[in-house]
Protein backbone atom coordinates (compact mmCIF):
# COMPACT_ATOMS: atom_id res chain seq x y z
CA UNK A 1 0.00 0.00 0.00
CA UNK A 2 2.85 2.41 0.66
CA UNK A 3 3.77 2.27 -3.06
CA UNK A 4 0.60 4.27 -3.81
CA UNK A 5 1.74 7.29 -1.77
CA UNK A 6 4.82 8.73 -3.44
CA UNK A 7 5.47 11.72 -1.18
CA UNK A 8 3.61 14.26 0.95
CA UNK A 9 3.14 17.74 -0.46
CA UNK A 10 4.40 20.25 2.08
CA UNK A 11 3.73 23.85 1.06
CA UNK A 12 2.50 26.99 2.72
CA UNK A 13 -1.03 26.47 1.43
CA UNK A 14 -1.19 22.82 2.52
CA UNK A 15 0.16 23.69 5.97
CA UNK A 16 -2.68 26.20 6.40
CA UNK A 17 -5.27 23.66 5.20
CA UNK A 18 -3.83 21.08 7.59
CA UNK A 19 -4.18 23.41 10.55
CA UNK A 20 -7.63 24.82 9.73
CA UNK A 21 -9.50 22.01 7.93
CA UNK A 22 -7.45 18.90 8.84
CA UNK A 23 -6.53 18.24 5.18
CA UNK A 24 -3.24 16.84 3.90
CA UNK A 25 -1.93 16.39 0.35
CA UNK A 26 0.10 13.61 -1.25
CA UNK A 27 1.60 12.87 -4.65
CA UNK A 28 0.18 9.49 -5.64
CA UNK A 29 0.46 7.04 -8.53
CA UNK A 30 -1.39 8.10 -11.68
CA UNK A 31 -3.41 4.87 -11.70
CA UNK A 32 -4.43 4.98 -8.02
CA UNK A 33 -8.10 5.49 -7.22
CA UNK A 34 -9.73 7.11 -4.19
CA UNK A 35 -10.38 3.83 -2.36
CA UNK A 36 -6.75 2.71 -2.69
CA UNK A 37 -5.51 6.13 -1.56
CA UNK A 38 -7.80 6.06 1.49
CA UNK A 39 -6.59 2.59 2.51
CA UNK A 40 -2.93 3.54 2.03
CA UNK A 41 -3.19 6.68 4.19
CA UNK A 42 -5.13 4.87 6.93
CA UNK A 43 -2.63 2.00 6.96
CA UNK A 44 0.51 4.14 6.87
CA UNK A 45 -0.45 6.85 9.39
CA UNK A 46 -3.07 5.05 11.58
CA UNK A 47 -5.77 7.70 11.05
CA UNK A 48 -9.40 7.72 9.89
CA UNK A 49 -9.97 9.29 6.46
CA UNK A 50 -13.37 10.89 5.82
CA UNK A 51 -12.86 12.21 2.26
CA UNK A 52 -10.42 11.98 -0.63
CA UNK A 53 -10.24 14.46 -3.51
CA UNK A 54 -7.93 13.81 -6.46
CA UNK A 55 -6.63 15.89 -9.33
CA UNK A 56 -4.31 15.21 -12.23
CA UNK A 57 -1.62 17.83 -12.76
CA UNK A 58 -0.61 17.89 -16.46
CA UNK A 59 2.96 17.87 -17.77
CA UNK A 60 4.46 21.30 -18.38
CA UNK A 61 7.20 22.46 -20.75
CA UNK A 62 9.99 24.45 -19.13
CA UNK A 63 12.67 26.69 -20.60
CA UNK A 64 15.76 28.09 -18.82
CA UNK A 65 18.42 30.41 -20.04
CA UNK A 66 21.99 29.54 -18.98
CA UNK A 67 25.51 30.44 -20.05
CA UNK A 68 25.38 27.57 -22.54
CA UNK A 69 22.13 28.84 -24.05
CA UNK A 70 18.49 27.90 -23.81
CA UNK A 71 17.70 24.58 -22.12
CA UNK A 72 14.32 23.06 -22.85
CA UNK A 73 12.84 20.49 -20.51
CA UNK A 74 9.60 19.06 -19.18
CA UNK A 75 8.02 18.61 -15.76
CA UNK A 76 6.26 15.28 -15.69
CA UNK A 77 2.55 14.84 -14.95
CA UNK A 78 1.45 13.58 -11.55
CA UNK A 79 -1.68 12.97 -9.51
CA UNK A 80 -2.38 14.87 -6.30
CA UNK A 81 -4.71 13.63 -3.56
CA UNK A 82 -6.09 15.87 -0.82
CA UNK A 83 -7.16 13.77 2.15
CA UNK A 84 -9.53 15.00 4.87
CA UNK A 85 -9.04 13.32 8.25
CA UNK A 86 -11.61 12.66 10.97
CA UNK A 87 -11.94 15.04 13.89
CA UNK A 88 -9.09 14.57 16.36
CA UNK A 89 -6.74 12.78 13.92
CA UNK A 90 -3.60 14.43 12.60
CA UNK A 91 -0.47 13.62 10.60
CA UNK A 92 2.91 15.00 11.68
CA UNK A 93 5.32 14.99 8.72
CA UNK A 94 8.10 16.61 10.76
CA UNK A 95 8.39 13.98 13.50
CA UNK A 96 11.04 11.96 11.59
CA UNK A 97 13.40 14.90 11.10
- The CATH number covering residue 25 comes to 3.30.70.330
pLDDT of res. 74: 96
- Quick check: 8 and 28 in contact, CB under 8 A? no
Give the global pTM: 0.85
Mean pLDDT over 25-54 rounds to 95
What does the buried/exposed string (b/e) look like for 33-44 if buried means 16 or more CB atoms within 10 Å of the residue's CB? eeebbbebbbee
Mean pLDDT over 35-50 rounds to 95
Closest CA to 11 of 93, 66, 77, 90: 93
94 part of a folded domain: no
Q: Could you list the residue range(s) of the whole structural domain that residue 21 is in?
A: 5-85
Tell me how far apart the alpha carbons of residues 36 and 44 are, in angstroms, rounded to a whole number. 12
Mean pLDDT over 40-64 rounds to 95
Domain total in the chain: 1
pLDDT of res. 96: 65
39 part of a folded domain: yes
Amino acid sequence: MSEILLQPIISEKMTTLGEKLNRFAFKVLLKANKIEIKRAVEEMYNVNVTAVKTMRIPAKATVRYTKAGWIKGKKSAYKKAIVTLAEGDSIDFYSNI
